[in-house]
Structure 1
């Protein structure tokens, strides 16, 4: 049961999950490489990968900066001190997880690996089930109506 004074998770799952997804992507790329798109479309996907990864990094850095300024933790296994709704949090409730997913997908496009794309999608799904849903309960218990109004206004991902 989540109370306003209990942490949403015991472990910081998201970094572990995304690192496992990246490791799985690397191993599968080496052990069982899948065919990739050839020609000009491959170049476009390569460039799109860099843009996606850079945008993800920008969103993540902006989110960390806003959370630091609000004096609340970025650790998903710690109690939130303040509800942050500005900066990237004004268009997604989970900008850091969105950042991690975008970077993983971007790397997939850069290296031309379907495995990384699949790993990014699976990691996002697992993070939502293992972390986000627990964090949402924690934030609702901690901040009540203020969080529920925010959640009704801003989407979970994008």
Structure 2
């Protein structure tokens, strides 16, 4: 892998989450998937809170990368390993935020199909994005990234 190219991720990772929600909605509509997601005020409030928290985590992750002057987009090389702020809790706060947003969106849409597809979305994210990012970081910062991985979990 060419270090100057970065992790070589072929698409913006948020597309996986958008696709999962979209396919889930189609399954609900045309696959006649019965919704077990309650359509009540408590579910709506929980959904909205999850969406807000998810977006906040994503934006804090982006802001932290920008302040560190490293690539936000996974098709560009990293210039530094960010280890402070939310990156001290999880190596992938933006993906944690997107997952939280996704769950909130699925609840807001009352979409059992989207909830069922979440493991598929996360597996694709792992294989097509996270593995490539980690390979790039191990190659670019072998000792520092290995130490970071020992100290901070991939998810939570």
- Could you say whether these structures have the same fold, taking a TM-score greater than 0.5 normalized by the shorter chain as the test? yes
2:14 is equivalent to residue 12 of structure 1? no
Change (3 A) 1:38 1:26: closer
Decide whether the 8 Å contact of 2:21 with 2:105 is kept in 1: no
Q: Distance in 1 between matches of 2:69 and 2:127?
A: 26
Q: CA RMSD in A?
A: 1.8
2:94 is equivalent to residue 102 of structure 1? no
Alignment: residue pair count: 155
Structure 1 stretch displaced more, 111-120 or 90-99: 111-120
Residue equivalent to 2:26:
27
Question: TM-score normalised to the size of structure 1?
Answer: 0.88
Residue equivalent to 1:36:
36
Residue equivalent to 1:79:
77
Structure 1 alignment gaps of length 5 or more: none
- 1:120, CA displacement in angstroms? 2.6
Decide whether the 8 Å contact of 1:12 with 1:75 is kept in 2: no
2:54 is equivalent to residue 56 of structure 1? yes
- 1:110, CA displacement in angstroms? 1.8
Q: Distance in 2 between matches of 1:29 and 1:75?
A: 32
Decide whether the 8 Å contact of 2:37 with 2:107 is kept in 1: no
- 1:93, CA displacement in angstroms? 0.5
Q: Deviations over 1:115-154 (max 9, x none)?
A: 1212333211210111101111110111111111111111
Q: Distance in 2 between matches of 1:131 and 1:10?
A: 6
Question: TM-score normalised to the size of structure 2?
Answer: 0.89
Q: Distance in 2 between matches of 1:36 and 1:145?
A: 47
